[in-house]
Amino acid sequence: MTFTGLYVPMITPFDASGSVALDALASLAHQAMDAGAAGLVALGTTGEPTTLSETEQREVLDVLTSVSRERRARLLVGANSIEALRALDKRPDVTAALCLVPPFLRPGGAGVLAHFTHLTQARPVPLVAYHVPYRTGQQLSADDLRRLADLTGIVGIKHAVGGIDTDTIDFLADIRPGFAVLGGEDQFISPLLALGAHGGILASAHVATADFVQLIELWHDDDPARARALGHKLAALSAALFAEPNPAVIKSVLHAQGRIPTPAVRLPLLPAGAEATRAALQRLDDLVSVPR
């Protein structure tokens, strides 16, 4: 089972009372599937999971599980501990768990490998590692990444290192069969796909799902000229959507489109400014000029 294509890490929309807007969440998930996404991600960082109560987390997961089952789509769920992984044992529709490299402690490559080895011992589902060193503080070398990929039970990685560095190039030159590299750095997804990534977990795809699906297909179909043209446009869109802390601008754009009831985020995040929203909407409009 190799994960390919686009996976949308779902936001958590809120209504005017501050409650989770579950109907809007279901609509967004169906829209993503209608536009060609391969699957959804529940309770990832884009969904503001640390601000949700246990009841809200369960409700969000119930909604996205239902959509995934109905659409026969893959569902990844953010889970970073043995306890969180064991809780997925009661959810047979979950395809894989998205597990963050241990943050803040910086245990080194050997410590990261030991941590994931420990997680795999209790896994009810396969694991996708989430490597985002500018958030966790933990760098991993190409050799570390290859050793991680060799662990039984680890089926892929969300790779978000802030750009295209030498370790990324080295790692992508030698990927074991069956292991998926999913880009998680929205602005750099096009060059990552050009180097051999299998797909992406991309928050920007909330507002341009079909375009990101097409970008992945163009690189996989060996159509670099069209892929580069679309990739440049999508990189500009992603830069605008991440101009303020994620997912504030994405929520503001979705609200402007009438797709969610409010643009609200929960503290410590703040709502996106009007100028950032206007800039992102303009970048979205620019996509219509890209040849299809």
Catalytic center residues: 130, 158
The amino acid sitting at 205 is A
Report the DSSP pairing between strands 96-100 and 180-183.
Answer: unpaired
The answer to whether the beta carbons of residues 231 and 215 sit under 8 Å apart is yes
* Alpha helices, H only, the chain: 22-34, 54-71, 82-87, 108-120, 133-136, 142-149, 166-172, 189-194, 209-220, 224-241, 248-256, 274-286
The answer to whether the beta carbons of residues 254 and 284 sit under 8 Å apart is no
What DSSP character marks residue 260? S
- Tokens linked to 77: 């769920």
Q: Count Cβ atoms within 10 A of the Cβ of residue 273 and give its class: 0-12 exposed, 13-18 middle, 19 or more buried.
A: middle
- Tokens linked to 225: 């000229």
